[in-house]
Amino acid sequence: MVNHPDVKNLVKILIGAAWIDGRIQPEERQYLREIAHSKGLSADPEIKPWLYELVQVKPDQCYQWVREYLGDRPSLEQCQDLIESISGLIYSDGEVATEEAKLLTRIQDLAKNSDHNQTIYTSLLRKIQKLYRRWVDVQN
C-alpha cells in the first residue's frame, strides 16, 4: 500500500476526471484500475468505492481534489504534471468530452496564473534586494 498522500490524491483526481462527464468509459475504467494497481491502491478502503463505481464522483468533488492537490500557489510544473496525468486518462477512450476539456482548461488557467504570479514575485524580490543593497551601501 502506498503511503504517499500525493499519489493517493492523484488517483482520486483521475477517478474524478473519469466521472466528470457523468460516466466512466470502459477504456477509462481499465486505465484507472491499472494505475490504482500499479500504485498499490486498488484495495485502499477510500479509493475502492470510487474505483469500482460503487459511488459516483461529482464534478465539484473532482475540482475540490484538484485544489487540494495543487494547493494555493501551484507551480507551473505541478500544473503541467497534473494535466499530463489527466490527459493519459482522458485520451484512453479516444474521445474528449466537453467536461473533460473544461477540467484541463481550468488547470491550464491555474498554470498561467501561477506563472504570472511567479513573475510578479520574482520582480518584487529583485526590487527588495536592490533596495537592501542600496541601504547596505549607504550604511558603509
Helices (H) then strands (E): counts for the chain: 6, 0
Which pLDDT tens digit goes with each residue over 54-103? 999 999 999 999 999 999 888 888 988 999 999 999 888 888 889 998 99
Please, which pLDDT band fits residue 122 given cuts at 50, 70 and 90?
low
Distances in whole angstroms, Cα of residue 29 to Cα of each of 70, 89, 103, 126, 138: 24, 9, 18, 49, 66
Specify the pLDDT at position 62.
96
72: number of Cβ within 10 Å: 5
Of residues 136 and 33, the one with the higher pLDDT is 33
Query: Which set of grid coordinates corresponds to residue 66?
Result: 484538484
Q: Is the pLDDT of residue 1 over 50?
A: no
Interior angle at CA 73, CA 67 and CA 78, nearest 5: 75
Specify the pLDDT at position 125.
66
User: Residue 105: which domain range?
Assistant: 5-139
Number of domains the chain contains: 1
Specify the pLDDT at position 48.
95
pTM value > 0.85:
no
